[in-house]
Amino acid sequence: MLELPRISVKDLQEWSKLSDVLTSGHRLCAGCGAGTMARQVTIAAKALEDPLMIVNATGCLEVASTIYPYTAWNVPWMHNAFENAAATAAGAIEAMNAMNRKKDESARKVNMLVFGGDGGTYDIGIQSLSGAVERGHRFLYVCYNNGAYMNTGIQRSGGTPMAAATTTSPAGKVIPGKIKWAKPLAEIMAAHEIPTYTASPAYPRDLMAKVQSGLKHDGPTFLLVDSPCSLGQRFPPSISIETTELAVKSCFFPLYATSKDEWLLTGESARIAKNPVRKVPVEDYLKLQGRFRHLFKPEWKKKLVEIQDTIDDRWERLLRKAEY
Amino acid sequence: MIKQVKGMTGNEAVAWAAKLVNPDVIAAYPITPQTIIVERYSEFVNNGEVDTSFIPVESEHSAMSSCVGASLTGARVFTASASAGLALMYEILYVASGLRCPIVLAVANRAFSAPINIHGECTDQLVCRDASWVSLFGESAQEAYDETIMSFKIAEHPDVLLPTMFGIEGFIVTHALERVEILSKSEVDSFLPERDVDLKFCPDETNTFGSLVLQDYYMEIKRQQEEAMTNAYRVTKEVMEEFTELTGRTMEILEKYKLDDADYAIVSYGATAGNAKAVVDRLRAKGEKVGALKIRLFRPFPSLDIYKALKGIKAVTILDRSVTFGSPGTIVQNDLASALYGRENIPTLHGYINGLGGRVLTLPEIEEVYEMSKHYNEINMSSTTDWVGYRK
């Protein structure tokens, strides 16, 4: 059975007194969802008993937080390369297990977090992740999906949504941005029969509950976070959280937890399931972002309809899986 | 000293030596002709004979990635690969050395695709020469055994802290059954104490590994690697001396065979060295003043030792079981030329690309090649490169 801890406002008040894991002074952009997401994830992890360790794939979060000789990380932190964060974490975990075994110390538990962006997870790192999950190393892999290779300059990735304009899927005269939908990454990871979660930094308590649930599991778990990016998705930094909130409210990015055949809608998505009038049109989400601006020209009107239809269809299928 | 002897293939020798080392982590992916190393070791793991965490990864890229993650925790780490597998690791070879991970990698040297071929050739390891790995070659199952154990001691030395690879040629050494003098667990334990680690990725220390390092510090970090490589030359010599004392078998960075009074020399590495020595004996019987030089340590390249060994020789035949295209010479010839250039009394250099994809270069063919080198020398050609042993 999937169990998510209930996180109260009082818990948040207590945890706000914990020392920072990701400290100020990092060089993420103003309004960057990765920073907000990482702080929420690490606060939830730090609130747990066992020590926290982090492996980070190459990407915005990595480059902006560890410009030598500085580091923004107040926990053991390691970066190896772009496509291998899961394999790297696997090596570290099994090494610590072996050394504990040699010293006859019963395996000391650590909470191993792995951070990767959509490029490092949907695309180049999926083999490493799938392999590590199949072998069953104990970690929570957090993919913060900002919908493109933002660190290298907004190139399309397997996590880029349909019709989004990126520098390698521009809004052209004949092709309006990215041609296909993003890979269903959460479903792919759920198919490995591991607890899998989606979360948004617009709903911190929901996100933190999933982090704690994932880290408490004795085996690999996966969390997909919708991570707003003002630079790449093209909106003012002041509306980052509003943007990802609308991704959830429009069912563009539903919040759920799943394990094997159990699908549990959470937070705002559970509320929408019970009360469908809460669901907002996907246009409300799209119109805030420059990457979808071209869709509001008359010639691409039918693309907007196609996106809404697909979102509705996916939401209906998710409702059926979650037995609504 | 009573020597224990066992019949083993090169791969088995690596696996049994690794068993005595009992690394904390082995992350590996199967590739012919390396597979028996990890198959044997998996048996040790699953029969509870070692403490190692064996990570059967889904690719060589992940093998080396897991090795880096493991090594940074302070663990002793081993892996094995070949050819395409080593090429797939290539990106992370540089991370391993840049993050100063003393990982040990056994290479079952095999030709690159295409065309696909599973047999012996050393190009795979030689082209890793710039990755800041200590690089050794072994001639026999015995050397495979010995280099497995020595590599950890070289790599983990605090003045080195660089990953170390050693190669044995696919099938020729990896699958040939040979006589191997073995060591006891206690001998290996005293030779190779536990890793002494200053900085590690562990729950109790808030260290950051793998930072972004830009123009302001990158070059200093690379320079430290070069200094570590310089230290690796000294440390490898010391480790080999200590190993010689332990085993009674002479182990040196270069093996000199009948070179003292020689006018001509055959330079080689790996399994070819056995044939080179056999040819030296045949030629000596005909009255030729010839010797052989085997390069055991390829990186750091022991330039001065090689100069001293070859000083006064008229012509050197370099048998290189590797290929490089559009190059001024064979891979090892190029290094020899750089090492000798500008020094006094240096030989003419004659490189021969041979043995690709497991092709056999016979002893009579080596004699022919030797005569070619003498001829080149007589007509004052100071450096030549030829392909030999193929259909023209």
User: How distant, in Å, are the alpha carbons of A123, A240, A280 from that of A226?
Assistant: 16, 11, 17
Range of the domain at B377: 254-387
- What pLDDT, in 10s, does the model give residues A198-207? 999 999 999 9
Order of strands across the sheet that contains B208-209: A262-265, A256-259, A196-199, A221-226, A140-145, A111-117, A52-56, A77-79, B208-209
* Residue B392 located in a structural domain: no
Among residues B199, B217, B247, the one where a domain terminates is: B247
Provide the token pair at A151: 């660190």
Q: Are B269 and B298 in contact (CB under 8 A)?
A: yes
Same domain, B170 and B314: no
**Which residues in B lie closer than 8 A to residue A115 (C-beta atoms)?**
none
> Cβ–Cβ of A128/B62 closer than 8 Å?
yes
Task: Report the interhelical angle of B60-71 vs B83-98 (nearest 10°).
Answer: 30
* Residue B324 located in a structural domain: yes
Provide the token pair at B237: 């010599």
Q: What is the interface size between A and B, counted as CB pairs within 8 Å?
A: 154
Task: Report the interhelical angle of B141-156 vs B10-21 (nearest 10°).
Answer: 40
Q: Render the burial of B317-333: b for 16+ CB within 10 Å, e for the rest.
A: bbbbbbbbeeeebbbbb
What average pLDDT does chain A have?
96
Q: Looking at beta carbons, which pairs linking A4-7 to residues 24 or more positions away fall under 8 Å?
A: A4/A209, A4/A210, A4/A213, A4/A257, A4/A264, A4/A266, A5/A209, A5/A212, A5/A213, A6/A209, A7/A44, A7/A205, A7/A208, A7/A209, A7/A212
- State mean pLDDT over A69-88: 98
Q: How far is A284 from chain B (nearest CA, A)?
A: 38
Provide the token pair at A92: 């570290």
**Which residues in A lie closer than 8 A to residue B203 (C-beta atoms)?**
51, 53, 76, 108, 110
For chain A positions 208-227, those within 8 Å of chain B (CB to CB) are none
Q: Are A117 and A143 in contact (CB under 8 A)?
A: yes
Structural domains of chain A, ranges and CATH numbers in brackets: 9-321 (3.40.50.970)
Residues 6+ away with beta carbon under 8 Å from B90 = B128, B131
Among residues B247, B275, B305, the one where a domain terminates is: B247
B8 residue type, one letter? M
CA torsion angle A74 A78 A83 A89 (round to 10): -100
C-alpha span between B348 and B369 (Å, rounded) = 14
* Residue B167 located in a structural domain: yes
pLDDT of res. A106: 67
Same domain, B231 and B264: no
* Residue B131 located in a structural domain: yes
Among residues B247, B266, B301, the one where a domain terminates is: B247
How many domains does chain B contain in total? Answer: 2
> Cβ–Cβ of A95/B77 closer than 8 Å?
yes
Same domain, B105 and B161: yes
Peptide bond preceding B115 in cis form (omega within 30 of 0): yes
Same domain, B210 and B267: no
- What pLDDT, in 10s, does the model give residues A253-297? 999 999 998 999 999 999 999 999 999 999 999 999 999 999 999
Task: Tell which of A27, A71, A88 to mutate to test the B interface (max B CBs under 10 Å).
Answer: A88
CATH number of the domain enclosing B308: 3.40.50.920
Provide the token pair at A302: 């039918």
Share of chain A above pLDDT 90, in %: 95
**Which residues in A lie closer than 8 A to residue B207 (C-beta atoms)?**
76-77
Query: Per CB distance under 8 Å, which residues of B are interface residues toward A?
Result: 24-25, 27, 51-53, 55-59, 61-63, 65-75, 77, 91-92, 95, 99, 201-214, 217
C-alpha span between B105 and B25 (Å, rounded) = 12
- What pLDDT, in 10s, does the model give residues A181-239? 999 999 999 999 999 999 999 999 999 999 999 999 999 999 999 999 999 999 999 99
Same domain, B165 and B95: yes
pLDDT of res. A104: 73
CB atoms within 10 A of CB A129: 32
Same domain, B259 and B225: no
A44 residue type, one letter? A
C-alpha span between B374 and B263 (Å, rounded) = 10
Q: Is the pLDDT of residue A56 over 80?
A: yes
* Residue B191 located in a structural domain: yes
pLDDT of res. A102: 86
> Cβ–Cβ of A69/B217 closer than 8 Å?
yes
Helices (H), A176-281: 185-190, 204-216, 240-249, 267-274
Same domain, B263 and B243: no
Q: Which residues of chain B carry a pLDDT beneath 50?
A: none
C-alpha span between B195 and B94 (Å, rounded) = 22
Which residue, chain included where needed, has tokens 């570290």? Answer: A92
The SS3 assignment for B15 reads helix
CATH number of the domain enclosing B129: 3.40.50.970
C-alpha span between B304 and B295 (Å, rounded) = 13
Same domain, B323 and B226: no
Same domain, B64 and B147: yes
Percent of chain A that is helix, strand, coil (3-state, to 5): 45, 15, 40
Same domain, B232 and B268: no
Q: Which secondary-structure segment (H or E) carries A144?
A: strand A140-145
> Cβ–Cβ of A95/B69 closer than 8 Å?
yes
Same domain, B370 and B222: no
C-alpha span between B316 and B345 (Å, rounded) = 13
Spatial CA neighbour of A37 closest among A237, A245, A182, A202: A202
**Which residues in A lie closer than 8 A to residue B214 (C-beta atoms)?**
67-68
Same domain, B141 and B161: yes
Nearest CA in chain A to B99: A80
Q: How far is B49 from chain A (nearest CA, A)?
A: 12
Q: Is the pLDDT of residue A108 over 80?
A: no
Task: Tell which of A56, A99, A114, A139 to mutate to test the B interface (max B CBs under 10 Å).
Answer: A99
Which residue, chain included where needed, has tokens 């005595």? Answer: B20
**Which residues in B lie closer than 8 A to residue A105 (C-beta atoms)?**
none
Q: Which secondary-structure segment (H or E) carries B164?
A: strand B164-169
User: How distant, in Å, are the alpha carbons of A92, B33, B222, B338 from that of A168?
Assistant: 36, 42, 34, 45
The SS3 assignment for B81 reads strand
